[in-house]
A = this chain, B = another copy of it.
Amino acid sequence: MKTIKTSNPKGMRDLITSKMILREYILDIMKGTFEKYGFGPISTPAMENIETLNGKYGDEGDRLIFKVLKSGNFFSEYDSEEDQLNYKKIATKISDKALRYDLTVPLARFVSQHRNEIIFPFKRYQIQNVWRADRPQKGRFREFMQCDVDIIGSKSLFPEIELIQLVDEIFNKLSIQNVKIYINHRKVLMSMIDHMGVSDKFNDIVILIDKIDKLGIRTVEKEMRRVGVSDAGMKIFNKFRNADSISKISNIFTESDIGFEGINELIFIQKVIKEIGLQSSELVFDISLARGIDYYTGSIFEVKQNDISIGSIAGGGRYDDLTSLFGFNDVSGVGISFGIDRIFYLMDDFKLFPDDIGSSTDVLFLNLGLEESVHVLKMIKKMRNLGIASELYPNMDKVKKQMSYADRKGIKFVAIVGEDEIKCNKISLKNMNTGEQYMHSFNDFLKDLQK
């Protein structure tokens, strides 16, 4: 038999149990909190029709989408003369589905498609994998998990406030300290760029502002000049940059500015958050926060933990027109996306996972022979009925090997039930942390467990 080499596709990974348990810990806290805030789960298929995804993520995005071959004779529409080995053209003929690239476009498709079943304002969360044919690098994978929360169908600012509270509560529960929630507003940015005299270059300027962290302010200023910002424009830009609070910026705008609306929204959000209070995060206004994605139209967020240079651990914003792509107009939404992988690495690095989430099993019963094991199975049944995770070691291996299994699996207690114990219905329990071993009456032991 030919042996196949065992490996994952490039940039994709397995999760062994010890990692999965930690990730589940994060996800359980997230789900629990989402539901406490009234969000419900949905799921969408891994694949979307290719026309649902194409053109939504720019040229680079299109290139990074994994395309799935048509089933059956996918090559029937290929025409060697017409297609002339142009692979992009060929792809559209041999592939009609693709793997989702994010959860936002599928959400827009979902909301449009199910508009008659959905209860609006629609509060949903979605935790699923997405796939991107990116160059893999440390912490960046071709398959990764996204966790999105959105409120769709409300133009009020309470959804923004709820999302800020949600972010605060989740990172507090995960014991991640020093979290800053940066906030800005697309309309404020629009106004600023207008004042700078380059409103026709909005997207270029936004992308540059978004890169200040990466490229440094000097490079960005140089690039801005190249895009067409004048001396006067640069001066205005720096005036905005140096205004470290919302109120200082609000003085710059007149009521006729589009930024006036944005700044007032920020002031309201900030005021209410201050009144309610956050648990451990801080809400910080940041005029340099831009978020490159072009569907945002209102408030934008980015969440960072600044003790570690891992980039943002969550981010999002308000979009007024996402579903109109699918023929469903005038539906405003706001959402935030949590970076599960980054949160995982951060928690691993800072050792923030509780100690007691290592193993699922409380008690391992040693296998000392056929007869003993059958007796033990009856004990295990009673313990499981009381909710105690317990298992019989299946093989009659040497005791040392069985103990090592318990040790490596992080099991708290090893139970030994041999001939003597069976005779008087007892159980010997060894505490794997302290090494102590005691013999108990099994019935007393059960009673203790029930307490």
Q: What residues make up the interface of A, taking CB atoms closer than 8 Å to B?
A: 1, 3-9, 12-18, 20-21, 24, 35-49, 51-52, 63-64, 66-69, 71-76, 78, 80, 85, 87, 90-91, 94-97, 99, 109-110, 112-114, 117-121, 123-124, 129, 131, 133, 143, 151, 154-156, 158-159, 161-162, 165, 169, 272, 275-277, 324-327, 359-361, 364, 367, 373-374, 377-378, 381, 384, 387-396, 405, 408-409
Contacts and interface: CB of A to CB of B under 8 A. Distances in A.
Given A46-B143, A68-B69, 16 more contacts: A4-B325, A6-B327, A9-B96, A20-B40, A35-B361, A37-B384, A38-B390, A39-B360, A40-B359, A63-B72, A121-B393, A154-B395, A169-B384, A272-B377, A275-B378, A277-B381
Nearest to A110: B14
B67 A14 contact: no
B66 A69 contact: yes
Contacts of A49: 7-9
Contact of A12 (B47, B112, B387): B47
Given A4-B51, A46-B46, A87-B73, A119 B405 contact: yes
Chain copies in complex: 2
Contact of A42 (B14, B80, B409): B14
Of listed A71, A165, A325, A364, residue having the most chain B CB within 10 A: A71
A78 B109 CA distance: 35
Contact of A113 (B14, B99, B359): B14
Contacts of A408: 119
Enumerate the 9 nearest inter-chain pairs by beta-carbon distance, A residue then B residue, closest first: A38-B391, A17-B40, A12-B45, A71-B133, A35-B360, A6-B113, A75-B87, A154-B394, A3-B327
Contact of A46 (B69, B80, B131): B131
A121 to B, nearest CB: 5
Nearest to A37: B391
A114 B14 contact: yes
A-side binding surface: helix, strand, loop or mixed? mixed
Nearest to A64: B71
A245 B94 CA distance: 55
B43 A14 contact: yes
Contacts of A359: 40
A9 B47 contact: yes
Contacts of A325: 1, 3-4
A90 B75 contact: yes
6 contacts: A4-B109, A8-B48, A36-B388, A68-B69, A121-B394, A158-B394
A33 to B, nearest CB: 9
Nearest to A406: B119
Contacts of A131: 46-47
Contacts of A9: 45, 47-49, 96-97
Contacts of A324: 1
A217 to B, nearest CB: 35
B1 A374 contact: no
A155 B68 contact: no
B43 A15 contact: yes
A402 to B, nearest CB: 10
Contacts of A18: 40
A69 B71 contact: no
Contacts of A276: 374, 377-378, 381
Given A9-B47, A46-B143, A47-B143, A99 B360 contact: no
Contact of A112 (B6, B95, B143, B361): B6
A348 to B, nearest CB: 16
Contact of A374 (B15, B75, B275, B373): B275
A396 to B, nearest CB: 7
A6 B37 CA distance: 29
